[in-house]
Amino acid sequence: SQTIHQWPATLVQPVGSPLSLECTVEGTSNPNLYWYRQAAGRGLQLLFYSVGIGQISSEVPQNLSASRPQDRQFILSSKKLLLSDSGFYLCASQPYYGYTFGSGTRLTVV
């Protein structure tokens, strides 16, 4: 079965600082990968998805970007964080049906 490694678990960053969140997948190859953001423990909003190396699709306009430099690596980045970027960020992998989620990164922008 696949495992998603996501780090760090928590992060406090000042406004205007850069961001890099990393997600790696074990136990599968060529999965679809996703970044979601969850506000206040409620619904998840899809930010980016990737169907292969170097292939990124953005779902919502925002201050963030994503990259997939390797098959099982998915990175979420920002050049300058905004207060509104605070939230719980979840990486997910889907080789077939049903997602496997990472444990999430709680980002607080101060």
Partner 1 sequence: SQQGEEDPQALSIQEGENATMNCSYKTSINNLQWYRQNSGRGLVHLILIRSNEREKHSGRLRVTLDTSKKSSSLLITASRAADTASYFCATDAGGAGGTSYGKLTFGQGTILTVHP
Nearest CA to 11 among 22, 2, 1, 3? 22
68: left (phi over 0), alpha (psi -120 to 50) or beta: beta
Using rule CB under 8 A, residue 101 touches partner 1: yes
Considering the complex, what minimum distance in angstroms separates the CB of residue 13 from partner 1? 19
Task: Round to whole Å and give the CA distance between 46 and 36.
Answer: 4
Using rule CB under 8 A, residue 34 touches partner 1: yes
Q: Which residues contact partner 1 by CB under 8 A?
A: 4, 6, 32, 34, 36, 41-44, 46, 49, 51, 57, 59, 88, 90, 92, 94, 97-104, 106
